Amino acid sequence: MNARKAANELQYRTLLHNDLEATKALLLSSCHVIPVPVRGPVEALINGGGKRLRPAFLLLVARLFAADEERALLAAAAVEMLHTATLIHDDIIDNAAVRRGIMTVNARWPATAAVLAGDIVFAQAAKLIAQTREPVIVERFAVALEVICLGELGQMFGSAGTIPTLQAYLDRIFAKTASLFALCAEIGPLLAQYPDEVVAEARRFGRLLGEAFQITDDVLDLRGDSNETGKPVGVDLRQGLATLPVLLYRAGYPDDHRIEAILTRSADEHTIESFIQDLRCSAAVDQAMGYADARAEEALSLLRKHPDTPHRCALEELVHFAVDRAY
Amino acid sequence: MNARKAANELQYRTLLHNDLEATKALLLSSCHVIPVPVRGPVEALINGGGKRLRPAFLLLVARLFAADEERALLAAAAVEMLHTATLIHDDIIDNAAVRRGIMTVNARWPATAAVLAGDIVFAQAAKLIAQTREPVIVERFAVALEVICLGELGQMFGSAGTIPTLQAYLDRIFAKTASLFALCAEIGPLLAQYPDEVVAEARRFGRLLGEAFQITDDVLDLRGDSNETGKPVGVDLRQGLATLPVLLYRAGYPDDHRIEAILTRSADEHTIESFIQDLRCSAAVDQAMGYADARAEEALSLLRKHPDTPHRCALEELVHFAVDRAY
């Protein structure tokens, strides 16, 4: 794969510069209705903005299908707004004080204000997506929200402290990440009235990219250099969450019961560190990256069906970035 | 006005029997996706169901405009689902343990599960409204959610302990109650493709009914017989909320500073009871009902423009019920 790039070096940043500025303007103007005290942290969350991967991805795919640009922009803002709303509610659930380096809504105000702030941001997302005037897209949008929340609720009531099956793991990362990428990818062909099989293939492309991203994220949590990622190693494990490398490791070492002790939080720090060390040295981490790479390869093969344009090229780069990044 | 009727004696119950059963079936089937532990209290909330005033009102108005019945049913279920979602999030905000005689989601499970349960119910509402295939309705639906949440957030950050102006009071009851009735009333003519001025008049009809309901509610909170309403008297005041009777009383007795003491919760029980007694004996309560009656009268005059059908008749009865009920 390509030489490793930082997110801010990716082509889409230049190619979509005006579109992403327009998306940001739509997002910020949607926030104007929110009362001032709560608006601050919501605007800061939007301005902090991360990599704007979802709207950029949606816009790039929409260009492949020559979808109407104005409606694609509305959808891109809607998806980012939906993502923002889920972050606000997530931060209540995780009792998080900081996100993207800024104080969360629930850290500044009572959690109840954060519930309402999230709801208002949902309403803004729904208003934006309704403005695409495409009922099928609105329905898919609502389904994506459903899948994301069901995934979180399932995790909350799921069998914590146990190792999931591969299917349960894939379902979880679909709900958490890939469902929204799948939505982003299908909006372009839906706007341009392509037939169902084309929409389904675009959706599959989005899902593959989302899965590749999330599997890589889960690997980075174990393999990452904490100096580069800015995060401690093994956060998921320490929170009782077994990801793909762990379940692949278990297949090779069925009798290593440190895993259960760690997942049920009954292991001491020494056990955790020695297990993470063994896991990092095992084949499981590379095997897990194999799952991510396979998805990236399939995504690239789907892309090759499209003409070789700068937008396709930026999407190829995004697929490479999904599996070959430092954070 | 008519002799006082109980909600379960109203004609719409018979007239819409099949439609309301179909609405309930749609609501319950929408809940099937929710994981079992959380589904219980959500289903109980839907089965408890109250008077189903909002879907009944939507369906009756839709009939006046001969709107497509299947799409009106979807919208009726969507509105009730939206209302249910706001109740689930409200119960977190109010830290309520019981609603409609059953345990709330947040009393059975951590508040974080209730946040997600409410979000999933929002998603179901959005899916249902998207199925009407009418983008304008989806947008109005999202705006109603926005208005409701902004109203609550405004109240949370508003000047608690102070007496609102008449306009601020009317804005508050619009956000809390009348906005959803206005949405219910405009959906029928929107589905049937009526011109904007007809939609706006239907919307006004819904708003008037919603305001009449809420003003009456606020009066009942002070005047109601706690044996009949099942609630203590003066709950709003005790929670620091000044409603229409209080602000009208203040106009007549500008120097009665017990109000501020009660609203800032610095009054003792004796002061609260003596003030409520004086308020009940004052002209303010009847004056407040005058505001409700005036809205009911205007709503009835708008109804008289329609042919005299059983559905119009049921709507007239609903308007009378709004201002002449015991609870």
Determine contact: A169 vs chain B, CB below 8 A: no
Question: Which run of H or of E encompasses A276?
Answer: helix A269-281
Q: How confident is the model at residue A317 (pLDDT cuts 50, 70, 90)?
A: very high
**Taking CA atoms, what residue in B is nearest to A88?**
B115
Interface of B with A in 110-139 (CB under 8 A): 110-113, 115-120, 122-124, 126-127, 129-135, 138-139
| Overall average pLDDT of the B291-310 stretch | 97
Q: How far apart are CA B80 and CA B78, in angstroms?
A: 6
> Which pLDDT score, from 0 to 100, does residue B1 have?
43
- Asked if residue A170 lies in contact with residue A211, where contact means CB atoms within 8 angstroms, the answer is yes
Amino acid (1-letter code) at residue A4: R
Q: How confident is the model at residue A103 (pLDDT cuts 50, 70, 90)?
A: confident
Amino acid (1-letter code) at residue B245: P
What DSSP designation does B31 have?
Answer: G
Q: Is the pLDDT of residue B34 over 70?
A: yes
Q: How far apart are CA B317 and CA B11, in angstroms?
A: 8
Q: How far apart are CA A19 and CA B282, in angstroms?
A: 62
Tell me the nearest-neighbour CA distance from B193 into chain A, angstroms. Answer: 16
> Which pLDDT score, from 0 to 100, does residue A1 have?
42
| Overall average pLDDT of the A134-155 stretch | 93
Highest mean pLDDT among A90-104, A276-290, B110-124: A276-290
Q: What is the dihedral of CA B46, B47, B51, B55, to 10 degrees?
A: 50
Where along chain B do its domains lie?
Answer: 7-323
Q: How far apart are CA A88 and CA A105, in angstroms?
A: 7
| Overall average pLDDT of the A242-264 stretch | 94
- Asked if residue A60 lies in contact with residue A12, where contact means CB atoms within 8 angstroms, the answer is yes
**Taking CA atoms, what residue in A is nearest to B154?**
A35
The set of residues, in sequence order, having a beta carbon less than 8 Å from that of B62 and lying 6+ positions away, is B69, B72, B75, B76, B187, B188, B191, B192
Tell me the nearest-neighbour CA distance from B294 into chain A, angstroms. Answer: 31
Determine contact: B37 vs chain A, CB below 8 A: yes
Q: How far apart are CA A321 and CA A318, in angstroms?
A: 5
What is the per-residue pLDDT across B117-168, written as a single tens digit (0 to 9) for each?
999 999 999 999 999 999 999 999 999 999 999 998 888 887 667 899 999 9
> Which pLDDT score, from 0 to 100, does residue B3 have?
54
Residue B89 sits at the vertex; the CA angle it makes with B86 and B90, to the nearest 5 degrees, is 80
* Residue from the list B115, B124, B145 with its beta carbon closest to the beta carbon of A92: B115
pTM of the complete model:
0.91
- Chain B environment of A77 (Cβ under 8 Å): none
**Taking CA atoms, what residue in A is nearest to B32?**
A150
**Taking CA atoms, what residue in A is nearest to B92?**
A112
The encoded tokens of residue B29 equal 């089937």
* Residue from the list B38, B119, B146 with its beta carbon closest to the beta carbon of A89: B119
Looking at every residue in chain B, the average pLDDT score rounds to 91
> Which pLDDT score, from 0 to 100, does residue B325 have?
84
Tell me which residue of B88, B83, B174, B91 sits closest to B129, measured CA to CA.
B83
The set of residues, in sequence order, having a beta carbon less than 8 Å from that of A189 and lying 6+ positions away, is A61, A65, A67, A198, A199, A202
Q: Is the pLDDT of residue B98 over 70?
A: yes
Q: How confident is the model at residue A106 (pLDDT cuts 50, 70, 90)?
A: confident
| Overall average pLDDT of the B162-183 stretch | 95
What is the per-residue pLDDT across A3-58, written as a single tens digit (0 to 9) for each?
567 777 888 889 999 999 999 999 999 999 998 888 988 898 888 767 899 999 99
Highest mean pLDDT among A19-33, A158-172, B43-57: A19-33
Q: How far apart are CA B12 and CA B72, in angstroms?
A: 16
Q: Torsions phi, psi of B99, nearest 5?
A: -145, 135
Helix-, strand-, coil-residue percentages of chain B, each rounded to 5: 75, 0, 25
Highest mean pLDDT among A64-73, B39-48, B114-123: A64-73
| Overall average pLDDT of the B67-92 stretch | 95
CA B249 to chain centre: 25
> Which pLDDT score, from 0 to 100, does residue B2 have?
44
What DSSP designation does B95 have?
Answer: T
Q: How far apart are CA B219 and CA B285, in angstroms?
A: 7
> Which pLDDT score, from 0 to 100, does residue B327 have?
66
Q: How far apart are CA A15 and CA A318, in angstroms?
A: 13
Q: Left (φ > 0), alpha (ψ -120 to 50) or beta: where does A234 sit? A: left
Q: Is the pLDDT of residue B181 over 90?
A: yes
Q: How confident is the model at residue B214 (pLDDT cuts 50, 70, 90)?
A: very high
Q: Is the pLDDT of residue B5 over 80?
A: no
The encoded tokens of residue A20 equal 């992403």
Question: Which run of H or of E encompasses A103?
Answer: strand A102-103
* Residue from the list B113, B123, B149 with its beta carbon closest to the beta carbon of A123: B149
| Overall average pLDDT of the A156-185 stretch | 91
- Chain B environment of A142 (Cβ under 8 Å): 123-124, 126-127, 130
Q: How far apart are CA B299 and CA B81, in angstroms?
A: 26
> Which pLDDT score, from 0 to 100, does residue A2 have?
44
- Chain A environment of B34 (Cβ under 8 Å): 150, 153
CATH number of B7-323: 1.10.600.10
| Overall average pLDDT of the B185-194 stretch | 98
The set of residues, in sequence order, having a beta carbon less than 8 Å from that of B124 and lying 6+ positions away, is A142, A146, B30, B31, B33, B81
Looking at every residue in chain A, the average pLDDT score rounds to 91
